[in-house]
Amino acid sequence: MLTAAAWGLIQGLTEFLPVSSSGHLVLIPALFGFEEPSLAASVMLHLGTLLAVVAYYRTDLLRLLHLRRDPEARRILLLLAIGTVPAALVGLTLHGPVETVFSEPWLVAVALMVTGAILLFSLLVGKGVRRLAEGRWTDGVVVGLAQAFALLPGISRSGMTIAAGMAQGFQRKEAARFAFLLSIPAIAGAALLDGMDLVERGGFTSDLLLGMAVAAVVGYLAIAGLIRVLVRVGLLPFALYCLAFGTAAYFLL
């Protein structure tokens, strides 16, 4: 149960903080000799983080249900639909090959350093003024492509999508809002794909419920904490962390 709780803690933190959950799930076992989470654990951890983001943005999600009489809701839903397409296409066609190629820990370490460099570059982007309700279809394309790029293990999905949103001129908080709302279909899709394999292979155990619960609680707190840090200082702390951890992992592995 302690192992499940530990993976829930790691997943909850790294899924939403721009430090790459997929990268940590490869590098931490490689560095410390742990076993990577099983397929069943992966599914449950994703469900935990899905619960976290749905709970945090529940007001936005409920608003989207009233799209017929709410023009802003229609625009946001259109942005999310456009932004989901690139990652969905890449994920369905290249998910297996990408994970196979990037199964080498040293490659994941390099990808994590790339994440750090991109986050560092985002510091050059001025503070945006646009709100999500003012988004254009081109914003959905750009942020969606950034999310597709983050399918590579070690590349942070939240980091890429927040940085892309900021580059498009969104306020930092609004860029995070776009990124996390866009993560809902992505996380749900990943859980569904792995869940279909799980049905065939089996491997579910009751202790994974603890991992899911920990991932949900920690993930919710991570979203809240990230937004506070993002508004105050931007992505600099996370850029430095990715560069430091990626470099250390590269030379130690």
pLDDT at 19: 94
Q: Average pLDDT, stretch 162-171?
A: 95
Burial 21-36 (b: 16+ CB within 10 A, else e): bbbbbbbbebbeeeee
pLDDT digits (tens, 9 = 90+) for 122-132: 888 878 899 99
DSSP designation for 152: S
Concatenated DSSP letters for 36-90? PPPHHHHHHHHHHHHHHHHHHTHHHHHHHTTTTT-HHHHHHHHHHHHHHHHHHHH
Q: State how far the Cα of 164 lies from the Cα of 175, in Å rounded to an integer.
A: 8
Per-residue pLDDT of 186-236, as tens digits, reads: 888 777 766 666 555 555 666 778 888 999 999 999 999 999 999 999 999
- How big is the CA angle at 118 (ends 165 and 105), to the nearest 5 degrees? 120
pLDDT number for residue 95: 61
Q: How far is CA 175 from the centre of its chain?
A: 13
Average pLDDT over residues 84-91: 83
pLDDT of residue 98: 61
Residue 169 pLDDT exceeds 60: yes
Token pair listed for 117: 């460099």
pLDDT digits (tens, 9 = 90+) for 108-119: 999 999 999 999
HEC profile of 217-248: HHHHHHHHHHHHHHHHHCCHHHHHHHHHHHHH
